[in-house]
Amino acid sequence: GAVVSQHPSWVICKSGTSVKIECRSLDFQATTMFWYRQFPKQSLMLMATSNEGSKATYEQGVEKDKFLINHASLTLSTLTVTSAHPEDSSFYICSARELAGDTQYFGPGTRLTVL
Amino acid sequence: RKEVEQDPGPFNVPEGATVAFNCTYSNSASQSFFWYRQDCRKEPKLLMSVYSSGNEDGRFTAQLNRASQYISLLIRDSKLSDSATYLCVVNEDNAGNMLTFGGGTRLMVKP
């Protein structure tokens, strides 16, 4: 149990385009989902916390207008990187927390490359 | 100062060796502690939680020293498949909302 999927697994796009990444909890309901970013040889950095039905809470230094987060249901959160630039190239990982738990389960990640 | 600090390594050890990783954290109010394993280009996967009394899972032993704000992971009888990056993770609240990751320690087990 506690499986989290992400789609797509990897994406290559041109500078200036927008990219949407989906995060789904497959066999449990997640009131809270988290979005992380990991640059090469660095650790995961929390970008934002997303609660179902409400606005996401962004970490300091993360532009909310650039990284749009929607958490419309208990099993799906999306992250849209708007007007992506090469410096946005990174490994984006989501995690989901069960309704009655405190453990975060991680998705397999999405590798974004912006040319 | 980083909130969760780890020696980045790499630790190069032969098969069968015992290796230990350390981690320090800055927030004394941290609630819970974990070791995650991350393989190259993959997501982190929970290896084990860390309890004050120390806990063991097969070849892996984790220890927590709250007074010194120090966490350790010991791997005995290293296998080739243990090669990965080990992330020390600290949960700063009770609800699992504030995971802070260390930079990771890379382990390479050689035949």
Q: Could you report the per-residue pLDDT of B31-78, keeping only the tens digit for each? A: 889 999 999 888 999 899 998 888 999 999 999 999 999 999 999 999
CA-nearest of B34, B105, B99, B40 to A109 is B40
Residue type, B58: G
**pLDDT more than 70, % of chain A:** 97
Residue B91 exposed, middle or buried by CB count within 10 Å (0-12, 13-18, 19+): buried
Residues A20, A21, A26, A29, CA torsion sign: negative
Contacting residues of B for A42, CB less than 8 Å apart? 103
What is the tens place of the pLDDT at every residue in A35-79? 999 998 888 999 999 988 888 999 999 999 999 999 888 899 999
Q: What are phi and psi of A55, to 5 degrees?
A: -75, 150
- Tell me, yes or no, if A90 comes closer than 8 A to chain B by beta carbon: no
Of the residues A7, A33, A43, A58, the best mutation for testing chain B's interface (the one with the most B CB atoms within 10 Å of its CB) is: A43
- Alpha carbon distance, N-terminus to C-terminus of chain A: 37
Chain B nearest-CA residue for A42: B103
In residues, how long is chain B?
111
Peptide bond into B44 cis (omega under 30): no
- The alpha-carbon gap from B44 to the nearest alpha carbon of chain A, in Å, equals 7
Note whether B94 contacts A93, CB cutoff 8 Å: no
Note whether A43 contacts B101, CB cutoff 8 Å: yes
Q: Please determine, for residue A95, whether its predicted confidence score (pLDDT) is greater than 90.
A: yes
DSSP A51-89: ETTS--EEPTT--TTTEEEEEEETTEEEEEETT--GGG-
Chain B nearest-CA residue for A97: B96
CA-nearest of B56, B91, B52 to B73 is B56
